[in-house]
Amino acid sequence: MATATEQFIDVDGVPTHYWEEFGGGGHPVVLIHGGGAGADAWGNWADCWKAFSGNFRVIAYDMIGYGTTVVDQEDFVYSQSARIEHLRAFLDAKGIAKASVVGNSMGGATALGLAMRHPERVHTLTLMGSAGLNYHFSPELQTILNYREPDQDGMRRIVDVLTNKNFAPSAEMVQYRYRLTLNEKVMSGYNAAMDWIRDAGGLHFDEREIAGVGVPTLVVSGREDAVVPLDQSVQFHRLIKNSSLYSIPECGHWAMIEHPIEFSEITTRFIREQVSS
């Protein structure tokens, strides 16, 4: 993302950190990272940036409570609704009336929520290993939920459960995510978000709301995803009538990191076809 500009913008009083590049065209594509400990825009999307920015105006922001988008309000509720409304307000602040949104995991649930509640703001929707149908906590999800304080070994375990068994994460990747959790405000927000998910019994929406999504949707799943298993992506595809399903073999929860070229190509093709139709 060396060619992108790194900026902050005020979003309803929250200084929101983001990367942006106008790149290959004016159509805005917003990339939304996942919700594991140490997640942020750069860590999730750096490997895909060149492919997306060669075709679109690309924006990747840190969700509220992640990266360097921190909240000073001690009683802030890190609910899924809060993340959806932060995304809507971010688009308002950027003056973007309508965008294609691409989300991974919690970011997928945030993108999906925008499509359900504010469909007029979404041109296309890409759900990659998306949350939204999670009603129980698998051992892999428990590994993520149980990261309560900065811990290098704990971060390695998170990266292991998020990727396929043949993926070899670099030491730099693990260290980068670990360092982000050293920020007390980020760690406090992360624990509050995970507590909210525990109390809610998972990160899920009413299936009738999901079935009401009418925007063109691409559902992408890693075949070996243990956090959001393939059958949940199949269910998204079944529920959303105007959707396509694409599954990547030898891929866990992080298609954008494990298979960045394949993921970027299929997503770019989908968005370009919908934008030109």
pLDDT digits (tens, 9 = 90+) for 58-70: 999 999 999 999 9
- Please say if 253 is a catalytic residue: yes
* Closest to 244 (Cα-Cα) out of 126, 150, 165, 67: 126
| pLDDT per position as a tens digit, 177-230 | 999 999 999 999 999 999 999 999 999 999 999 999 999 999 999 999 999 999
CB-based contact 57:27 (threshold 8 Å)? yes
Q: What is the pTM of this model?
A: 0.97
Catalytic residue among 221, 253, 259, 264: 253
Tokens of 55: 């075709």
Class of the 5-276 domain? alpha beta
Confidence of residue 72 (pLDDT cuts 50, 70, 90): confident
- Please say if 225 is a catalytic residue: yes
Phi-psi region of 262 (alpha: psi -120 to 50; beta: other; left: phi over 0): alpha
CB-based contact 109:205 (threshold 8 Å)? yes
pLDDT value, residue 2 = 60
Catalytic residue among 27, 47, 53, 105: 105
pLDDT of residue 14 exceeding 80 = yes
| pLDDT per position as a tens digit, 260-269 | 999 999 999 9
pLDDT value, residue 1 = 67
Domain layout of the chain by residue ranges: 5-276
Catalytic residue among 47, 221, 225, 237: 225
pLDDT value, residue 239 = 98
pLDDT over 90 percentage in the chain? 94
